[in-house]
Structure 1
Amino acid sequence: MSAASSFVWQVPTRAVCGAGALHGLGPETAALGGVVAAVVDVRAAQLPPAADALAVLAAHGVPPVAVHEVAGPPTLESVRELAAALGRSGADAVLALGGGSTMDAAKAAALAATNPGLLDDPRWAAHGVVDLDAPGDERARPGLPTLLVPSTAATGSELNGVAALRNAGRKRLLVSGLLAPSTAIVDPALTAALPAARLAEGGVETLCRIVCPYLASGAALGTTDALAEALAAHCLRAVAAACGAPASDASRPARADLAWLVSVSATQLPGLGREPWGHVLWYLQDAVADLAGTAKGPAMAALLPAYLAEAAAGGVGARWGTPGRLARLARALAPELGPDAHADLPAALARRLEEWNLPADLSGLGLDGAAVGRAAADTHRAWGRTGLLDGVGRGELAGFYHRARRFPGATVTPAGGSAPGRSPDTPAIREGR
């Protein structure tokens, strides 16, 4: 994807992508409904490209919108309030602009607006995942049409059927094909103001969405494997290029590539035929991000080398990957990471993470032994019955986290220094998914 390219891909979301895609916000919004409610992240809406696009909606026949500002991770209660507000406004479509938290809140509220009992489902008080498409469930009604505009290079919420909400202090994943947005607009102009560290975090999240299902696969799938390998290598290349000069015109093609890689990985296209809950690092990072007070990207980066080493050793009953799969991935990534990747992919990737100022083990996030033990307990309690963590004991999780705390070859942050992934003058920015 180059800076000048743009195209539409129905997946089933209508995806309008490329430089200048935001110019189509007016007609794309008008096509969805007559009364549009906007759910926006305040900071994202102040970006000049976003502000300009929102300002001209009326010129395309979109009446003044009711704007609902969001801040922080969505909760069951905040989504309930947003759904009620949508009902009072008479909205027949929802426009969301922001990061994962904003888009997740909008998707969940749009579905809850037409399914009054959705947020009272008893599964919200149980473990992990609220799957509305589970066999035997009464089929939910379609939600209000949604148009999502991501302002970050990470989440992929604009093209998937998942929303993360908190209930009683714990995260839950709401899953349904009905959550898939009607339209997504992906424009690299919205990531032009992101610092290199944020672009790198998004790239790591995207890389993990690609390689985790790949490694955990029990069998080779020719086309799917080839696609995942190519996308993983291209992801490393795009992040390196985008981080070189993130705000410059020279980095625009790389930012465009990264924006599209985020969206493609979110559709699960690189994992077709794989375990649907095979993104193990999402579950493993959740408690780590909470305890460290950081976003998902640094938490995944801090766990990734140890996770790859687990696959190299055939650990955790080979549930998370096998040496054979890791060796194949190493061959695919060696052109980007160097020949050392063949001999030790975890170490080669750890070095690359540190070049991007991201942590390569849990010590880089400042977690001590007690915090690591707590992360294992929290992960087992919240996600121990989910996907590839189903059947993994608390002791196995604790062993993995402790190995991830001091990964060989990772740089240990000096006492009083700043942790990788967070510069001394930049506060951590929480992303709620």
Structure 2
Amino acid sequence: MRFLPHTDEDRRQMLETIGVSSVDALFADIPERFHLQPGSLKLPPAASEAAIVRSFRQAAEANRHAGNTRCFLGGGTYHHFIPAAIDYVILRGEFLTAYTPYQPEISQGTLQALFEFQTMIARLTGMDVANASMYDAATATAEAALMARRITRRDKVLLAGSVNPRYRAVTRNYLSRLDGDCDILATPPFTTDAEALAQHIDARTACVIVQYPDFYGTVYSLAPLRAACDTHGALLVVCFSDATAFGLIEAPGAMGADIVVGSGQALGIPMGFGGPHIGLFACRQRFVRQMPGRVCGMTEDRHGKRGFVLTLSTREQHIRREKATSNICSNQGLMCTANACYLALLGDAGLREVAARSHAALARLVQSLPAGVQAAAGPRYHETVLSFADQQARERFLTAARAADIFAGIPLEHLEPGLPARHLLVATTEMIEQADVDEYLALLEQYA
């Protein structure tokens, strides 16, 4: 059924008011050769709604995605199991909005969910306080750099080369119109050398930004960086891509981080072809007034009853621009609720099991690689780089893997141009079973 609200009489009156004789006259400035003639698009005849739905469903079933394949993709977005209860909760009318809860008297449920989310993220990262989320990990990293500049009143930002390339690119873009330096520090291939990075920190440094585990999955000690930051008065900013790691390894806060940022996608949010995801942001209590975004707090009303409010909201829309810490417009409220549901459902033990299974799957894969394929050295969480003899060997393997419904990894030169086209970034999660690893290894043995 067509929905055309304007009648012929409506159109006649509108054309008469603006002084033209027909709708075609509105397009008189467009050369005739660009006009579409009736029938020139060769569209199929009209179909019923049922027929259109069936056609789209058939097309969708041809798509290959993480849900109907074996997925070894990583690089910042991961295929984890999502409990069914999460969708049930976030699709309820009370939560199905991203609108800012300005009026606490009618937003207690939303505000409490955000308050619980902040508590969980602060605990997970080992920090004192977390905000009510950012857009994504890349912009959260950039905001952390700006925050460090404000706190230290210095203008030099150091970025480790082992930070996710997308986080680096966004941060450099944020800082590109400001005075000061944003230096990318080279790291050894597919790992992080914290002691070497620490040598670059000096009295001009506002912060050093590292990823932990790094972009290639390396787990390492932050102690040398913490010591150098203490010596020179700089801040240590730690970012991450998969928050499930902290169910197994030590949290950044426990290792001395001043600001911790990253992605919450792994905590109950689907890959979604890249979004919507969520950025997490936590810091030390003494820096809270320089933190971007919003902070929800718990208080009491005049009758002594518990209530929740927006405690801090230091953005341009709320306060004078020169006092604002950010111009971020909205948090990812619905994604916060998904994160909070996921962490509440799994608890400490469940998150630890997810992390352990994710790591174990990678360990099984790496320890049985054929002679022609090498894994990056050093301790890893659930991600690593596989290096092939040449590009041809890698492409033979990827072609065979696609035919077997396996997303085998990301060609690393797609994310880091300039690298030889023979490396593959590979990640495992608890969704990878022993049989999946065995088939992956069999294809490597046969084609690589």
By the TM > 0.5 criterion, same fold? no
Q: Which has the higher contact order (CA 8 A, sep 6+)?
A: 2
| TM-score normalised by structure 2 residue count | 0.35
TM normalised by structure 1 equals 0.36
Structure whose CA Rg is larger: 2
